[in-house]
């Protein structure tokens, strides 16, 4: 009996041991269920620490809710890695030490595990290059935020739209410091300012805080009319411009910002205490 048990369990245990030691590389299989077509895509990608692999695919980008989100157009993005979380204060401090840059002043409510803020676009891009990564394109950002969902909202179930699924946004707690500020009514996420990254549930890809905490720089220049001429495959934005695309919502944003198609923009030299970033990487 004992020898039979050994034969049954010993080989798998050896394989597990070798894998854990790095002798046999583990490859993560990402399985994504597309709700609309009931398809299951299996993609094999080597794991990258702190990032999730977003399988490529085709989706309807944009909406008819605002002129700069129209027209709704078909976009295909190839698979890419995306940081699970916004870049943290601790990660950015390592970058500043390594490259002998000045660490931007962080707000008094922040801490090592909060998203870094007060970083302009060029420094965000410099961090990404230093880390062997890049900033995500606007199309990649929207795809990661909504491609597995039939609508433009963040929540997979419309009945739960105004509950936990929004993460850290401008909620009723913000009224403690800002009276008469636009907030999500009857929603209290418990954070007046930024929250430690990944304080709220991840989306279906395993990405945290796309929908809140701090706004995020994208790689693209902004153009209100770009969707009229956007290429159907891996669009990267206009060749030049005066503003960079900003995506998501933040601790001081709600309303239209809670739409996954919502587009915002700032001059690249801007830096605010509600604006951060995350990185992407090619397969
Ligand atoms: Ca909040
Ligand atoms: Ca965010």
- 16 and 80 both lie in a single domain: no
Does residue 210 sit in helix, strand or coil?
coil
Distance 137 CA to ligand 1 centre (A): 26
Q: Are 44 and 29 in contact (CB under 8 A)?
A: yes
DSSP 236-253: ---S--S-EEEES--TT-
Q: Is the predicted pLDDT of residue 37 greater than 50, yes or no?
A: no
Q: Which ligand is nearest to the Cα of residue 174, counting in written order?
A: 1
Distance 60 CA to ligand 1 centre (A): 30
- 130 and 105 both lie in a single domain: yes
Q: Is the predicted pLDDT of residue 227 greater than 80, yes or no?
A: yes
Q: Are 105 and 273 in contact (CB under 8 A)?
A: no
**pLDDT-based confidence at 42, cuts 50/70/90?**
low
Task: Report if pTM > 0.85.
Answer: no
- 55 and 155 both lie in a single domain: yes
- 239 and 184 both lie in a single domain: yes
- 251 and 150 both lie in a single domain: yes
- Number of domains comprising the chain: 2
Distance 201 CA to ligand 1 centre (A): 15
Three-class DSSP labels, 145-192: HHCCCCCCECCCCHHHCCCHHHCCCCCHHHHHCCCCCCCCCCCCCCCC
**pLDDT-based confidence at 41, cuts 50/70/90?**
low
Distance 196 CA to ligand 2 centre (A): 11
pLDDT at 255: 84
Q: Is the predicted pLDDT of residue 232 greater than 90, yes or no?
A: yes
- 64 and 7 both lie in a single domain: no
- 253 and 158 both lie in a single domain: yes
Most confident listed range (27-31, 104-108, 259-263): 104-108
Q: Is the predicted pLDDT of residue 240 greater than 80, yes or no?
A: yes
Host domain of residue 16: 1-42
Distance 191 CA to ligand 1 centre (A): 4
- 132 and 31 both lie in a single domain: no
- 87 and 204 both lie in a single domain: yes
pLDDT at 134: 98
Q: Which ligand is nearest to the Cα of residue 208, counting in written order?
A: 2
Distance 129 CA to ligand 2 centre (A): 20
- 98 and 16 both lie in a single domain: no
Distance 199 CA to ligand 1 centre (A): 11
State mean pLDDT over 138-161: 64
pLDDT digits (tens, 9 = 90+) for 53-84: 999 988 899 999 999 999 999 999 999 999 99
Protein residues with C-beta less than 5 angstroms from the ion ligand 1 = 168, 171, 189, 191, 251
User: How is residue 26 written in tokens?
Assistant: 């583990």
Distance 211 CA to ligand 2 centre (A): 6
| Domain at 192, CATH number | 3.90.1580.10
- 121 and 253 both lie in a single domain: yes
Return the percentage of the chain with pLDDT > 70, whole number: 78
- 134 and 5 both lie in a single domain: no
């Amino acid at each position: 009996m004992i020898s039979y048990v050994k034969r049954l369990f010993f080989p798998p245990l050896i394989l597990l041991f070798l894998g854990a030691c790095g002798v046999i590389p583990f490859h993560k299989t990402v399985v994504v269920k597309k709700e609309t077509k009931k398809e299951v895509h299996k993609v094999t990608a080597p794991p990258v620490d702190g990032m999730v692999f977003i399988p490529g695919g085709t989706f309807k980008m944009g909406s008819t809710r605002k002129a700069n989100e129209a027209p709704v157009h078909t976009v295909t993005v190839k698979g890419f890695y995306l940081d699970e979380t916004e870049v943290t204060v601790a990660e950015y401090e390592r970058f500043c030490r390594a490259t002998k840059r000045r660490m931007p002043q962080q707000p008094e409510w922040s801490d090592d595990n909060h998203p870094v803020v007060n970083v302009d676009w060029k420094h965000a891009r410099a961090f990404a290059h230093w880390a062997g990564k890049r900033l995500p394109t606007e199309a990649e950002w929207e795809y990661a935020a909504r491609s597995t969902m039939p609508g433009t909202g963040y929540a997979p179930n419309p009945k739960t739209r105004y509950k936990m699924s929004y993460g850290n946004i401008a909620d009723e707690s913000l009224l403690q410091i800002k009276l008469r500020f636009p907030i999500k009514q009857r929603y209290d996420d418990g954070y007046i300012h930024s929250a430690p990254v990944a304080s709220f549930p991840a989306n279906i890809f395993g990405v945290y805080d796309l929908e809140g905490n701090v706004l995020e720089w994208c790689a693209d220049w902004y153009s209100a009319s770009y969707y009229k001429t956007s290429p159907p495959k891996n669009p990267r934005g206009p060749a030049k411009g005066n503003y960079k695309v900003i995506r998501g919502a933040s601790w001081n944003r709600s309303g239209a910002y809670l739409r996954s198609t919502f587009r915002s923009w700032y001059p690249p030299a801007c830096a605010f205490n509600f604006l951060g970033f995350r990185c992407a990487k090619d397969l």
